[in-house]
Amino acid sequence: MDGDATATPRLRGVEAIQHALQTMPLSSGVYRMIGEKGEVLYVGKARILKRRVTSYTQLGKLPERLRRMVSETVTMEIVTTHTEAEALLLEANYIKRMKPRFNILLRDDKSYPWIMMSDGDAFPQIAKHRGKLVKGASYWGPFASAWAVNQTLNLLQRVFLLRSCSDAVFNARTRPCLLFQIKRCSAPCVGRIDQADYAHLVEQARAFLSGQRNGLRDELVREMEEAAAGLAFERAATIRDRIRGFAAMQDSSVINPASLEDADIVAIAQVAGQSCIQVFFIRGGRNNGNRAFFPLHARDEAPGEVLGAFLSQFYDDKPPPAQILLNCEIAEHALMADALGIKRGRKVEILVPQRGEKRAVVEHAETNAREAMERKMAESTAQAKLLDGVAELFGLDAAPRRIEIYDNSHIMGANAYGVMVVAGPEGFDRRSYRKFAIRGPITPGDDFAMMREVLERRFSRALREREAEGGTADWPDIVLIDGGAGQYSAVRAILDELGVSDVTLVAIAKGPDRDAGREWFHVADRPAFQLPPRDPVLYYLQRLRDESHRFAISTHRAGRSKALVKSELDEIPGVGAARKRALLNQFGSARGVRQAGLADLEATPGINRETARVVYGHFHPGWSGA
């Protein structure tokens, strides 16, 4: 009986695939398995679509995971491509966007920082950049982290003395800033260096960042000796400091083999069916840092399969380097190299070195991957114990998968925001954090009314999704709020009105002296209680509450700063978004606009004489306009 019940949906899935095969071409492309609710179950690519998809109808040759996928398939969609390499690139793009649960998934939603140098300026700026690379600037990277790019920028400033300030600040300077005093900038803003000498620094910096550093130190030594011989001792001392910075830059890399100029070192380690992939970025012969990734996949996936899927998704939104060094072979090695070559616009070489210096750096990356995997497993074990303790403390049947913590922040009701922080088995889930700008109307300081609005907006939507789909993945097990018995009763009433009865509500309140460690907990059907001061579960719950405080305060401050700028400039008649941008670019802030003279306003690009007089009159009510 059970076998027949299992076979029926699988046969339906096979029938859906066979129906799609009737019109499927014999060309390269990408196919998508679609589930009953329209969700994408799996994305795959093939050199010959019809031949590859036909294999899914032979259930006896498929592993259990793929048989389950076939049973959930109700239709298929395809996109044809000219080559299999193009299909591989498109497959990676679809997987990153659609996140089908039967694919190996790279969980990487962070952008990577770059070093940017402006083009076309008389005195180019060097700075950190995140986001899309745009025209009008040169870029070097990516870097593994903000720390790595900041460290490199600091060293570059010591060696090349290039400005890092924005154009608005640069144009408004009347005397050198602190960076000039600590020998991190040549102060072109106030004429301490002429354009020709600054251009020479820019040329040296570009050569260094591009890996053309041979002879740069010798050139600096020669310039220092010439300055000393000409009795220009201050200039000689400045160049000496630059040489010291150059030496620090040369010595700061952990992995920096002489044979690697433009490469990524990628190594995978697997422990207990989980994988960690460590990537070291080498650009221009310099180590730009490393980052660990933990892709989501089935426990029986081989290292080569996981690593191949990782590479295609990892380079979907960034240019691959000339060389990629791996610690194990991947499936379709040549195809991956061709696809990444298309992405880069030039040849990409994928190597699995067996000896020598390259093998040593791959082994170093593999060691880092294994250690990162062990740390993550240890943290997960500790986290699981804490969640088990939370479940026992509050009478849950199992460890909570999702805990939501709520808090508000405002000043006398102004710029009021509510926030939701989310935690679970993987720690804080920052992608699930939410901000709620309080719409009101609410009496200033009415925290209960603010919390009501936040909870109504959060759970009303979740309840609609639950009713439509029969369940929601983001339904909490515990709702944690900051407060005592009064806050608990108010929030419990709000949840009851909404029909939310299957969520455990917990209120955490500090003691009479506001001492951390003496918190009181309020839950249903139980008197308020405290935990021992050194209880690990108490520390964990305190950390959840403190994170909601931090997020609420930072959200409120950001909203307040935005409102301050908006209130001062957006109320000026005739000043729209473009003119507001022009004013901020010229004077750096709303305060700078307020302090500007009429002549300065009239000289601002994009601001005509009439608008300048309106702006000046707005900030000087007694001015007659004569």
Using omega within 30 degrees of 0 as the cis cutoff, is the peptide bond preceding 142 cis? yes
**What is the reported pLDDT for 110?**
72
Domain 568-619, architecture per CATH = Orthogonal Bundle (1.10)
Measure CA 267 to chain center.
22
Radius of gyration of the chain (CA): 30
- Copy the structure tokens of residue 192: 């301490």
Cα 475 from Cα 467, distance rounded (Å):
12
Residues near 471 by beta carbon (within 8 Å), at least 6 away in sequence: none
Kindly list the domain boundaries of the chain, sorted by start residue. 15-103, 113-248, 263-374, 403-562, 568-619
- This prediction has a pTM of 0.68
| Cα angle for residues 511, 512, 514 (degrees, 5° grid) | 65
Beta pairing, strands 349-351 & 262-271: unpaired
pLDDT digits (tens, 9 = 90+) for 483-540: 889 899 999 999 999 888 889 999 999 866 555 567 899 999 899 999 988 889 999 9
**What is the reported pLDDT for 132?**
81
Q: Which of 172-176, 276-280, 568-572, 621-625 tops mean pLDDT?
A: 276-280
Q: Are 508 and 523 in contact (CB under 8 A)?
A: no
CATH topology of domain 15-103: GIY-YIG endonuclease (3.40.1440)
Cα 1 from Cα 356, distance rounded (Å):
61
Question: For the chain, what is the mean pLDDT?
Answer: 85
Residue 443 has pLDDT above 90, yes or no: no
**What is the reported pLDDT for 441?**
75
pLDDT digits (tens, 9 = 90+) for 250-266: 544 444 556 788 899 99
pLDDT digits (tens, 9 = 90+) for 237-252: 777 766 666 655 554 4
| Cα angle for residues 10, 11, 13 (degrees, 5° grid) | 65
**What is the reported pLDDT for 469?**
55
Residue 295 has pLDDT above 90, yes or no: yes
CATH topology of domain 263-374: Nucleotidyltransferase; domain 5 (3.30.420)
> What is the mean pLDDT of the segment spanning 429-442?
84
Per-residue H/E/C for 231-269: CCHHHHHHHHHHHHHHHHHHHCCCCCCCCCCEEEEEEEE
Residue 360 has pLDDT above 50, yes or no: yes
pLDDT digits (tens, 9 = 90+) for 345-355: 999 999 999 98
Q: How confident is the model at residue 1 (pLDDT cuts 50, 70, 90)?
A: very low
Residue 442 has pLDDT above 90, yes or no: no
Same fold, 15-103 and 568-619: no
**What is the reported pLDDT for 133?**
82
Q: How confident is the model at residue 45 (pLDDT cuts 50, 70, 90)?
A: very high
Measure CA 84 to chain center.
31
Superfamily of the domain at 403-562: UvrC, RNAse H endonuclease domain (3.30.420.340)
**What is the reported pLDDT for 562?**
65
Cα 164 from Cα 117, distance rounded (Å):
9
CA atoms within 13 A on the CB side of 509: 16
**What is the reported pLDDT for 245?**
62
> What is the mean pLDDT of the segment spanning 63-80?
92
Would you mind telling me the total number of residues written for the chain in this entry?
A: 626
pLDDT digits (tens, 9 = 90+) for 564-582: 556 677 778 888 878 887 8
- The DSSP-derived string for 592-603 is HHHH--HHHHHT
Considering only CA atoms, which of 285, 283, 278, 339 is closest in space to residue 303? 278
> How many C-beta neighbours within 10 Å does residue 339 have?
27
